[in-house]
Amino acid sequence: MRYRRLIAPGGTFFFTVVTFARTAWFGTGETVELLRDAFRNVIRSHPFEIDASVILPNHLHMLWTLPEGDSDYPTRWRLIKSNFTRCFTGKNDSPIISSRLKKNEQAVWQRRYWEHQIRDERDFTRHVEYIHYNPVKHGLVQTPAEWKYSSFHRYVEQGLYSLDWGADSPKIEDITGME
């Protein structure tokens, strides 16, 4: 069966991308920085806006808006994943990675990712809140402000959130069906 992706030029999309076997590759600042470099490299050649993001040890959530007339987020994800994988595997001597790469198997990422086109402002807000609350949901921190690999801090700087947003355990619904 052929997998189908939604084509919506200039659309805004929510993504969940997971590491292979949910391995905690993003458990250090060094690997998070490699991932951020991969994003910067791809954005230079294939621009898009990152509206919200969170990088957790074994998965990430992103909210992107594509340029008008452009619907090619699959290419962007392919480039980001391959860019990160090249840099990461060059710096990582994990036997798991080595054996999987020798067999030409996926070593760092799950093959597919979850995507959802944002329908309206309410849908956008729900997904931003889900992204920012996700480290708390997974028990990594007590409040979103404690997680440094998140756009939450940018939202606070812009006055969109108070620093204590999410500290009182708001009801953030599971919008992905993925976790």
Q: For the domain that residue 38 is a member of, what is the CATH number? A: 3.30.70.1290
* Confidence label for 103 from pLDDT (cuts 50, 70 and 90): very low
Query: Would 34 be classed as within a structural domain?
Result: yes
What one-character-per-residue DSSP string does the chain give?
--------TT-EEEEEEEBGGG--TTSSHHHHHHHHHHHHHHHHHS--EEEEEEE-SSEEEEEEEPPTT---HHHHHHHHHHHHHHHHHHH---HHHHHHHHTT---SB-S--EEEE--SHHHHHHHHHHHHHHHHHTTS-SSGGG-SSBTHHHHHHTTSS-TTTTTT-------SS--
Predicted local confidence at residue 170, as pLDDT: 59
* pLDDT over 50 (residue 179): no
Query: Would 172 be classed as within a structural domain?
Result: no
Query: Would 178 be classed as within a structural domain?
Result: no
Q: pLDDT digit string (tens) for 37-65?
A: 999 999 999 999 999 999 999 999 999 99
Report, as residue numbers or ranges, the catalytic residues. 149
List Cα–Cα distances, 30 to 14, 34, 87, 88, 98, in angstroms: 25, 6, 11, 10, 20
Query: Would 33 be classed as within a structural domain?
Result: yes
Query: Would 64 be classed as within a structural domain?
Result: yes
Measured at the alpha carbon of residue 127, what is the angle toward residues 122 and 131, in degrees to the nearest 5? Answer: 150
pTM of the model: 0.84
* pLDDT over 60 (residue 102): no
* Confidence label for 75 from pLDDT (cuts 50, 70 and 90): very high
Predicted local confidence at residue 8, as pLDDT: 77
Q: pLDDT digit string (tens) for 140-170?
A: 999 999 999 999 999 999 999 999 998 876 5
Predicted local confidence at residue 178, as pLDDT: 41
Task: Work out how many domains the chain is built from and give that number.
Answer: 1
Q: Which domain holds residue 77?
A: 12-118
Query: Would 80 be classed as within a structural domain?
Result: yes
* Confidence label for 171 from pLDDT (cuts 50, 70 and 90): low
Query: Would 153 be classed as within a structural domain?
Result: no
Query: Would 179 be classed as within a structural domain?
Result: no
Instruction: Please state, in angstroms and rounded to a whole number, the distance separating the CA atoms of residues 24 and 56.
Output: 8
